[in-house]
Structure 1
Amino acid sequence: MSTQPTTVQKRETDVLIIGSGGAGLRAAIEATTRGANVLIIAKEELREAHTGWAMGGINVAIKEPATPQQHFEDTINGGWRINNFKLAKIFAEEMPDRIHDLERYGVLFDRLPDGTYFTWASGKQSAPLNLCAGDYTGREMMRGLLLEVKRLGVPYLEHTYATRLFKQGDRVVGAFLMNSLTGEQTVVRAKAVIVATGGGGAMYRVNTNAPSNTGEGYAWGLDMGAEMVDMELVQFHPTGMAWPPEKRGTLVTEKVRGNGGILKNKHGERFMARYQPQRMELAGRDEVSRAIYQEIQEGRGTEHNAVYLDVTHWEEGKVEKLIPDVFAAHMEVGIDIRKQMMEISPSMHHMMGGFVITEWGETNVEGLYAVGEVSCSVHGANRLGGNSIAEGQVFGRRAGIRTSEYVKGVSMPEISEQLINAELQRIHSYLQREQGPKPAEVLSKIKDTMWNYVGIIRTEEGLLKGQEEIKKLQQEAQQIKATNTQELQASLEIRDMLETAEAIVTSALVRKESRGAHFRADYPQMSEEWEKNIRVFRGEDGKLVTRVVPVTK
């Protein structure tokens, strides 16, 4: 058993950024450039953030015939018109400049022999918006962003988990941190906190996310009094590796379908002709995921509960050139996709909902900002592939601007010893128990509950069952016993994960229609009266409250 340190380190900074993906790093660059002192918190090594897992590309209207207006309209239509129109407009208009920023940081995007950008049209795009670096765009972006962060000398802490945010009065004033390797504990006072923690894929049995994506940012927001929106809208990527088991859920980029990959069932039938005869494999992610799910459910899937994705017809050299990472991932397990079809099935991929923010990343809580996947609502009910890592660049920069301005006008806050001691007591209670369930056992139950009841196809009966299971697991999670620092972090993550799961299922029960990623078998049609957003927050009694609001135009 790891011994927990008895002393708590103290630090202070103007802007505390929790999360080291593309959005968090972009915020750090901007705030630092504008004179703020910044501290970045990374759950893993700085270079291992989930942004680095993004494959297919980054959306931007940077080459004709694509225009910012077309990017905006595709984003709104792809999101089934419940996006925040104001944020989506800013996003589409500012993205070309953010590409030029990335290139200044050293990012290399693919170009044609004539020197122009290589772009391609992903699902639901009316013109080629997708700019990429092979099929490792996220990794290349992270390389450039990290070069700039290090050039600026921005301080950071790696392998560090924020256990909670601190609030004094109506203002967020810092966070409690724990090193996941040593158990060392640190309290950071901050004039502003930017939450950039990404999504919550770890809640689902099959997902494309990094293991660090445990959804705690949403829970912190609810704890602090922030409003969340669109939490019911959880995207499933149509094409995650389905075989072999050790690769299950590994992302197979949309670039495969965008460049002529064909989906087939076990009979060799190109089944998308039955569901989306116009767009075929390039229909929306929500539509393709449901089509694959239905094929498997109706017995036309492979023996591994999957369908085939076929690129064996591509000309020689195209696989290695366009999708080298997908090719390598399959070759690792003895599958040559140039000669054999891939087996794929949907995997939980992205959360469209999150913190309600202004165009500057501000939440309804003073001193608290949010950017990236943990925020909303550029994407509406279904995110276009390539829009996520793009969104983080636009709004990461904007949050960096606003926080750098905000911190000039406020004093450094104090965090009371009472708050710190209460958090220490909460944390150490997991280590002091004589007995209790192991965190891995509870986590496994969460994954099954969310996958089985709050997944691709939903019903009121299933959602109510899921809600009941989540409540039981919340009780069980209070009794978890941790025996070392790693289990302690997992225990704390589980508590937050269950709070986020509760917000998802609560919102999903309210939306009595099918729209985008939210498909209700008991309400299979999209309803005009539900062209609205669902917000969720904690009431004065501590219980979740929902309210339905008009779309922000």
Structure 2
Amino acid sequence: MSTPEDTASAVDYETESVGVLVIGAGAAGARAAIELAERGVDDLLVVGKRGHGDAHTTWARGGINGALGTHDPEDDWAIHAADTLNEGHFVNDPAKVETVTRAMPDHLRELDDWGMSFSRTDDGEIDQRYFGAQSFRRTAFAGDHTGESLLDTLVGRAQELEVPYRENLLVTKLAADGDRVYGAVGVDLDTEEPTLIEASEVVLAAGGYAAIYDRHTSRDDENNGDGPALALDAGASLMDTEFVQFHPTGMAVDESDPEWAPWRGRLVTEAVRGEGGRLYNAEGERFMERYSPDQMELDARDVVARAIAQEVREGRGTENDGVYLDISHREADFVQERLPRMYERFQDLGVDLSEEPVEVAPTAHYGMGGVAVDDYGETDVSGLFAVGETMAGVHGANRLGGNSLAETVVYGAVAGERIAARDPEPGTVPAAVRESLVEPHVAGLTTLADSDGEHEPRAVLDDLQNLLWDHAGLLRDGDQLREGLDQLAEVRDAAEEMAVGPLGSRSFEFAVDVGFSLTVAETVMRGALERDESRGAHYRTDATDPDPEWRRNIHYHAADVGVTTTTEPVGEPSETVQTALDEGHELDYHQLE
């Protein structure tokens, strides 16, 4: 099936041909592959840039949403949709929101049938907890390791179906001509060989872009914008990348302490607050009483994050520029049962979560924007799909906690069903695309490897992350953004002068990540500058109110230099969802007290 090829341009690369290529081995990619296999598509391949089962999904801890009504039988999919639209400040795509919320109860039952280790009620039902800005308890969970359990379940199901998988393959470019996709080019990190995988259908499930920020919840080699950058380069458009969610509770640490420093910004799951955790400033005040007396610590993530930032800015922050998160009023057994991974993490660092508070501060967590897709996850490049955090449309201006995992399983299944209906044949890259795109790109990869320069790729990426944090972070203004775009040009110049290691090395990976991150960073800053209002996670200190005229989506298109933008109006909810919106459901935090 795989044969080495020596092209006319003397560029060597391995070639493999499949019907469907799934890029990304997290929940979205795995679920797409499962759907394809269950519908009889056996000529497919899932590729991941890490080992099998090692994907960012495992870091999603708190839960996965679906209106099962385990504790609150009055909940239903339409109220879930209404909460999602409210949290997204009505720039979500209502049709995509409805697709996710309608499907999730059945998907939770499906995962249960496949053996997912959900936490249970005393009656043996799938348990559900409160999550921020949700009207009812609809977040199903497996302790505080839901993402890990979800991915284990999906990988297990894929293995039962004998889904082919190839690990440690870094995809660097899509083979596309602007109208259609024909496959993807990458580097096998084990063999250091350039590789072309031909495919008639390609699913991008390569994650998001929150790691373009200095303080973030991702591992350093994930969520660097791979998926959106690959799609934009192939001729697809991006949408709403200016909306970046800053989770309220990342770890705030003493960076001079070598034991704690690696944990800077890492997520302290919302489940801690969902189980009753409270936020206090350095003066011992439960400050959310001032910002959100009804929803308190479980208000929308953007509201809580800005409240923490305000406390720190006004001098009421902790030693490490955060606030305290405290769940010590709960019994120790409860904390250890409901939050086992969090308890173990802090126990390893010498802190007993059941007895003392921990320091937290906002951290970049999730990109609500991504690749613009239709109702089935397909882009405007024929045959190219984007699912999971790589796609845009479901979350709008701010994501409802617990909806990320929901989106992955629903749209993975939706895209898989759509592709299977086409009965995909093995892919072939046309000779013209090989000559004009594949071979020059492979030659460029070999030139990049072992190149000399004055800048280390990791250092260039650090500079870019600092730039985004300083100029397009939780609080933004026009002057900062314009200055940031000017500085972005300087980082781009530095990226042209990097000292890079051989193909497959960590240095080479970081050099590739720099390219992806630069692409997406420009769209984030240009969109944030163009959207001169505040909406959800996008907060402009020089335009603090939402503007009704900006109930629009910004689309980003590749240009000869940089990107151009257009805007499009947002659709309207269905009558059923509008009724749920009009009913005005809202979380009653004080049930937790």
- In structure 2, the residue matched to 1:453 is 471
- In structure 1, the residue matched to 2:275 is 259
Asked if residue 141 in structure 1 is aligned to residue 159 in structure 2, the reply is no
- In structure 2, the residue matched to 1:13 is 18
- In structure 2, the residue matched to 1:535 is 555
The letter for the 2-side match of 1:228 is L
Judging changes above 3 Å, is the alpha-carbon distance between structure 1 residues 524 and 408 closer, same or farther for their aligned structure 2 residues?
A: same
In structure 1, distance between residues paired with 2:275 and 2:562: 48
Aligned mate of 1:546, from 550, 558, 565: 565
Judging changes above 3 Å, is the alpha-carbon distance between structure 1 residues 159 and 411 closer, same or farther for their aligned structure 2 residues?
A: closer
Aligned to 2:422, what secondary structure does the other structure show?
helix
Aligned to 1:465, what secondary structure does the other structure show?
helix
In structure 2, distance between residues paired with 1:73 and 1:479: 49
Aligned to 2:566, what secondary structure does the other structure show?
strand
What TM-score, normalized by structure 2, do the two folds share?
A: 0.90
Shift of 1:214: 1.2
> Would the aligned equivalents of 1:21 and 1:50 in 2 still touch at CA under 8 Å?
yes
Asked if residue 371 in structure 1 is aligned to residue 381 in structure 2, the reply is no
- In structure 2, the residue matched to 1:88 is 97
1:400-415 mapped onto 2 (5 Å cutoff): 400-408=416-424, 412-414=428-430, 415=433
In structure 2, distance between residues paired with 1:381 and 1:454: 15
1:214-293 mapped onto 2 (5 Å cutoff): 214-243=224-253, 244-293=260-309
In structure 2, distance between residues paired with 1:409 and 1:202: 36
In structure 2, distance between residues paired with 1:291 and 1:368: 40
In structure 1, distance between residues paired with 2:102 and 2:117: 22
In structure 2, distance between residues paired with 1:461 and 1:470: 14
Judging changes above 3 Å, is the alpha-carbon distance between structure 1 residues 413 and 319 closer, same or farther for their aligned structure 2 residues?
A: same
The letter for the 2-side match of 1:115 is G
Shift of 1:72: 0.5
Aligned to 1:47, what secondary structure does the other structure show?
coil
Shift of 1:233: 0.1
Asked if residue 172 in structure 1 is aligned to residue 188 in structure 2, the reply is no
In structure 1, distance between residues paired with 2:26 and 2:82: 27
In structure 2, distance between residues paired with 1:175 and 1:551: 32
RMSD: 1.6
The letter for the 2-side match of 1:10 is T
Aligned mate of 1:393, from 409, 415, 422: 409
Shift of 1:418: 4.2
Shift of 1:451: 0.8
Q: For 1:348-407, what per-residue CA distance to the aligned partner results, in whole angstroms no more than 9, with x for missing partners?
A: 000000111112111111111000001011111110110001111111001111112235
Aligned mate of 2:326, from 275, 300, 310: 310
- In structure 1, the residue matched to 2:538 is 518
- In structure 2, the residue matched to 1:46 is 52
Aligned mate of 1:331, from 330, 347, 354: 347
In structure 1, distance between residues paired with 2:231 and 2:179: 13
The letter for the 2-side match of 1:221 is A
In structure 2, distance between residues paired with 1:313 and 1:420: 60
The letter for the 2-side match of 1:191 is S
> Would the aligned equivalents of 2:250 and 2:361 in 1 still touch at CA under 8 Å?
yes
In structure 2, distance between residues paired with 1:29 and 1:97: 16
Asked if residue 55 in structure 1 is aligned to residue 61 in structure 2, the reply is yes
Q: For 1:189-211, what per-residue CA distance to the aligned partner results, in whole angstroms no more than 9, with x for missing partners?
A: 00011110111232111111133
In structure 2, distance between residues paired with 1:67 and 1:118: 16
The letter for the 2-side match of 1:390 is A
Aligned mate of 1:500, from 512, 520, 536: 520
Q: For 1:44-97, what per-residue CA distance to the aligned partner results, in whole angstroms no more than 9, with x for missing partners?
A: 112110011111100000122320011010000111111100110111101111
- In structure 2, the residue matched to 1:157 is 166
What TM-score, normalized by structure 1, do the two folds share?
A: 0.96
In structure 2, distance between residues paired with 1:293 and 1:181: 43
In structure 2, distance between residues paired with 1:41 and 1:411: 16
Shift of 1:432: 4.8
Judging changes above 3 Å, is the alpha-carbon distance between structure 1 residues 176 and 215 closer, same or farther for their aligned structure 2 residues?
A: same
In structure 1, distance between residues paired with 2:177 and 2:213: 34
> Would the aligned equivalents of 2:19 and 2:427 in 1 still touch at CA under 8 Å?
no
In structure 2, distance between residues paired with 1:465 and 1:169: 32
Aligned to 1:321, what secondary structure does the other structure show?
helix
> Would the aligned equivalents of 1:60 and 1:95 in 2 still touch at CA under 8 Å?
yes
- In structure 1, the residue matched to 2:577 is none
Judging changes above 3 Å, is the alpha-carbon distance between structure 1 residues 333 and 364 closer, same or farther for their aligned structure 2 residues?
A: same
The letter for the 2-side match of 1:61 is A
The letter for the 1-side match of 2:475 is I
Judging changes above 3 Å, is the alpha-carbon distance between structure 1 residues 110 and 432 closer, same or farther for their aligned structure 2 residues?
A: closer
In structure 1, stretches of 5+ residues that fail to align are none
Judging changes above 3 Å, is the alpha-carbon distance between structure 1 residues 490 and 118 closer, same or farther for their aligned structure 2 residues?
A: same
In structure 2, distance between residues paired with 1:168 and 1:454: 33
- In structure 1, the residue matched to 2:455 is 437
In structure 2, distance between residues paired with 1:159 and 1:172: 22
> Would the aligned equivalents of 2:88 and 2:396 in 1 still touch at CA under 8 Å?
yes
> Would the aligned equivalents of 1:52 and 1:142 in 2 still touch at CA under 8 Å?
yes
- In structure 1, the residue matched to 2:195 is 186
Asked if residue 466 in structure 1 is aligned to residue 484 in structure 2, the reply is yes
Which range moves more in the overlay, 209-218 or 306-315?
Answer: 209-218
Judging changes above 3 Å, is the alpha-carbon distance between structure 1 residues 307 and 101 closer, same or farther for their aligned structure 2 residues?
A: same
Asked if residue 382 in structure 1 is aligned to residue 398 in structure 2, the reply is yes
- In structure 1, the residue matched to 2:371 is 355
Shift of 1:246: 2.5
Q: For 1:400-447, what per-residue CA distance to the aligned partner results, in whole angstroms no more than 9, with x for missing partners?
A: 111122354796443524432201221122235333311011011011
> Would the aligned equivalents of 1:191 and 1:407 in 2 still touch at CA under 8 Å?
no
> Would the aligned equivalents of 2:327 and 2:354 in 1 still touch at CA under 8 Å?
yes
In structure 1, distance between residues paired with 2:538 and 2:194: 40
Asked if residue 77 in structure 1 is aligned to residue 86 in structure 2, the reply is yes
Asked if residue 119 in structure 1 is aligned to residue 128 in structure 2, the reply is yes
In structure 2, distance between residues paired with 1:470 and 1:6: 33
In structure 2, distance between residues paired with 1:515 and 1:480: 38
Aligned mate of 2:139, from 130, 141, 144: 130
The letter for the 2-side match of 1:235 is Q
- In structure 1, the residue matched to 2:434 is 416
Aligned mate of 1:195, from 204, 212, 217: 204
In structure 1, distance between residues paired with 2:569 and 2:283: 45
The letter for the 1-side match of 2:214 is R
Aligned to 2:195, what secondary structure does the other structure show?
strand
Aligned to 1:458, what secondary structure does the other structure show?
coil
